[in-house]
Structure 1
Amino acid sequence: MPGKDRPNARFHGRVEAGDRLCEEPGCDQPGEFRAPPLEGSGASGEGPGRYRWLCLDHVRAFNAGYNFFNGMTPEEIHDAQRPYAGWERETRAFSTAGADRPPRWADFSDPLDAIGARFRERMATERARADGKPLLPEDRAALRVLGLGVDADRKALRARYSELVRKFHPDRNGGDRTHEAALQKVVEAYQRLRKAPAFA
């Protein structure tokens, strides 16, 4: 192919060696593939040691014998194999230590109260009931369908349900069936809430 820099680079990761030889003792083939440094081979506190350069056969042998878990205890292997291993570490952007602390909310200018209003609305809808009765996320969603607050009682639930049925039912608004979907959501929300522990 015209213009291709390395027409003979058939293997991914190959770097033309020039006069660089494979670092495996006794090998005289070109060292075209990088491998991690051996332990103690120039590593310092500034990072790992330099890469080793191996020929294709020796890098294949290295890869075949590589064991990520070599030297780990069974507990360390178990921790490394967890599906969320590594996710519990804080990234620099969200770290609470060091110089990379995120800005405080108070540092943002919010002249239209766009951020603050949304936060207060979310806190209001997710707060606990004053009577301590539990509300599942599905219960909260049903309350939003009915337009009720989290502290609504059974009496308020019945009254609101009756009001919305009168509003949306075709028999109550001249046969208009355009609100049937809304009526169905209201009925489903009411059926859920009337059986919920918060309204028992």
Structure 2
Amino acid sequence: MSGASETSTRICEKEGCNQPGKYRAPKAPDVLDDFYWFCKDHVREYNQQWNFFHGTTEAEMNAQMSKDKVWERETKSFVDPEQRAWSRLGIEDPHQVLGGNATQNPGRVKAGGRKLPPTERRAIEILEAKDDWTKTEIRKAYKALIKVLHPDINGGDRSQEEQLQQVVWAWDQIKQSRNFK
């Protein structure tokens, strides 16, 4: 617990001392991983004279002490994340949350004003259709996408196979739906 390195074979670096140098002390505040090796008496003497802030101005010392209060981590502004959170809801001023936007749910009702289950809403997005289209119009969009994505039409190119599977899934959702004429 004394800090002595029992395996050290060094001699004390104090001029004129022949005791074993078992205690290390940093050479400078800038270089804390390079050490002097002293005996017990001389390391005590060195530590009493040690000043981390030697050669710094008072302003530099205060700046370092301020950094040390937060473990040298800069604090982040709370304004930016909060502003981004409100903007995701389409609100510029947090006080608008109590106004007309408070009753809107942007995930359920789109511009057409139809309420659709999440699977059908996702299917509409995949097929690049609108929720006020009829099944016939959506089927035309489905066929157009199939022509673009199918490997038989693209010379055997299977790079868009996952997207093709999503399009087929989306059409199955719409085909079985009662929400479209």
State TM-score, norm by structure 1: 0.36
Choose 1 or 2 for highest CA Rg: 2
